[in-house]
Amino acid sequence: MMRAVAPKVILCVLFALGLNAQTLDETVRTLARRVMTRLGPADVPRVTARSLSNLGNAEVNAARTIFERAIRRPMPRQPQTVDVTLTLSQSVRGYLIVADFDRNGQRAVEMVEYRPSAAAESGRASLDRQLLIEQDAPILDVAVDGDRMFVLEPSSVVIYKGGQRVDKRAYASKQGRDPRGRLELDGGEPRVSAPGVDQPFALAGETVKFVEKSNVLQAGGRPPLFALARARDLVWIAETDGRIHLYELDKRPAGLIEGWGSDVAESPVECGAVLASAGGDRDANDTLTMLDIVDRRPAPVSDPLQFSGAITALWPAPNGATAITRNSATGKYAAYKITIRCSQ
């Protein structure tokens, strides 16, 4: 891995020089030529690629393919493998494609500026929100059926019709300090899953249930978890250590993501993998971002959607997700319908 300070220093130098922008093909071929001049005749590059930008899979995979073709040459008699990591990075000034590799025991870095075309950036997603309800009482989940809305609270389901409250149905639960619950509709009737309610539910193709007097979920063969999603042939699990763990479909560990919140929900659209909260202090304003993944690393593919308060629950929905927030200034809870749109 590169030292943290190196990209920042070289980044400033490159932008100060004002390098001319090129197409992806030209940019990557230029980078490949620079790398090859620093390799010996027996060195054979082994390339991996990742994105630390808001550009997703298509762009970074294309860069890797172009690079591998550009460095192709006859296999030497005694090949020496050199690991080359391509990174598509981003700053407030634009994009860089960076090649990081070892040469004679020394870390080497080559990079070129990249200005993507409008078509390349069109794969981004946009997130919209619609306020469904705001109230003083805690909201755990919301379900909508035509002109009826069902609001799950810690000990009851409140039913609205045409914007008017028409019913309230109590249920017995054994909630912990931070109440949680899942509300689904079965034939137009509410079905509650909550701590102390023996009602498993499906989440990302797995059967889960709440742990009594706790705010965590349990699933067969999984560690205790807050949230679970399945995307890009990986299972994303927000675990109790505050990190998102990645697993292969056969449950083998595949990676670790730090720096995001404990709420994650899989995307119903193809321009991103999951929605994830930013996390942090429970009284701080939160954000929701669409992520994709390249070489087991998260890459934002949407601008952050800002909220006035922390996200306390995030559940998948047919066209996006349902997000519940608590405003630290007013103490009020709000439920939002989150809609995802892929740029054409």
Give pLDDT, residue 4: 36
In angstroms, the Cα distances linking 259 to 4, 91, 245, 293, 298 are: 16, 18, 12, 15, 10
pLDDT in tens, 182-204: 999 999 999 999 999 989 999 99
- Per-residue pLDDT averaged across 245-260, rounded? 86
pLDDT in tens, 130-141: 999 999 999 999
Whether 258 contacts 243, CB under 8 Å: yes
Q: Is the model's pLDDT at 208 over the cut of 80?
A: yes
Q: Determine which helix (DSSP H) or strand (DSSP E) holds 59, and give its type and residue range.
A: helix 57-70
Give pLDDT, residue 3: 31
What is the domain-level CATH number for residue 155?
Answer: 2.130.10.10
239 confidence band (pLDDT: 50, 70, 90): very high
Give pLDDT, residue 91: 67
pTM comes to: 0.67
297 confidence band (pLDDT: 50, 70, 90): low
Q: Is the model's pLDDT at 21 over the cut of 70?
A: no
Q: Is the model's pLDDT at 92 over the cut of 70?
A: no
Question: Is residue 209 domain-shared with residue 331, that is, in the same domain?
Answer: yes
Q: Is the model's pLDDT at 125 over the cut of 60?
A: yes
Pick the last residue of a domain from 121, 140, 156: 121
* CB proximity list for 212: less than 8 A, separation 6 or greater: 174, 195, 196
Domain, as residue range, for 65: 5-121
Question: Is residue 104 domain-shared with residue 146, that is, in the same domain?
Answer: no
**How many angstroms separate the CA atoms of 58 and 294, rounded?**
10
User: Lowest-confidence range among 92-96, 110-114, 185-189, 206-210?
Assistant: 92-96
User: Lowest-confidence range among 21-25, 282-286, 317-321, 336-340?
Assistant: 21-25
Instruction: Compare 180 and 232 and report the one with higher pLDDT.
Output: 180
Question: Is residue 28 domain-shared with residue 99, that is, in the same domain?
Answer: yes
Give pLDDT, residue 291: 84
Helix/strand/coil for 113: strand
User: Lowest-confidence range among 29-33, 38-42, 45-49, 60-64?
Assistant: 60-64
Question: Is residue 138 domain-shared with residue 116, that is, in the same domain?
Answer: no
Q: At what angle do helices 57-70 and 24-37 cross, to 10 degrees?
A: 50
Question: Is residue 91 domain-shared with residue 165, that is, in the same domain?
Answer: no
Question: Is residue 92 domain-shared with residue 140, that is, in the same domain?
Answer: no
Give pLDDT, residue 142: 98
Q: Is the model's pLDDT at 164 over the cut of 70?
A: yes
Smallest Cα–Cα separation from 292: which of 70, 88, 32?
88
Q: Determine which helix (DSSP H) or strand (DSSP E) holds 52, and give its type and residue range.
A: strand 43-52
Question: Is residue 95 domain-shared with residue 220, that is, in the same domain?
Answer: no
Question: Is residue 110 domain-shared with residue 135, that is, in the same domain?
Answer: no
Pick the last residue of a domain from 83, 104, 121: 121
Helical ranges in 219-339 per DSSP H: none
pLDDT in tens, 210-223: 999 999 999 988 99
Question: Is residue 197 domain-shared with residue 226, that is, in the same domain?
Answer: yes
Question: Is residue 134 domain-shared with residue 209, that is, in the same domain?
Answer: yes
Give pLDDT, residue 2: 32
Q: Is the model's pLDDT at 321 over the cut of 70?
A: yes
Q: Is the model's pLDDT at 9 over the cut of 60?
A: no
In angstroms, the Cα distances linking 33 to 11, 52, 59, 83 are: 20, 23, 20, 16
Question: Is residue 20 domain-shared with residue 140, that is, in the same domain?
Answer: no
Question: Is residue 208 domain-shared with residue 303, that is, in the same domain?
Answer: yes
User: Lowest-confidence range among 143-147, 247-251, 284-288?
Assistant: 284-288
Pick the last residue of a domain from 121, 156, 175: 121
Report the domain count for the chain.
2
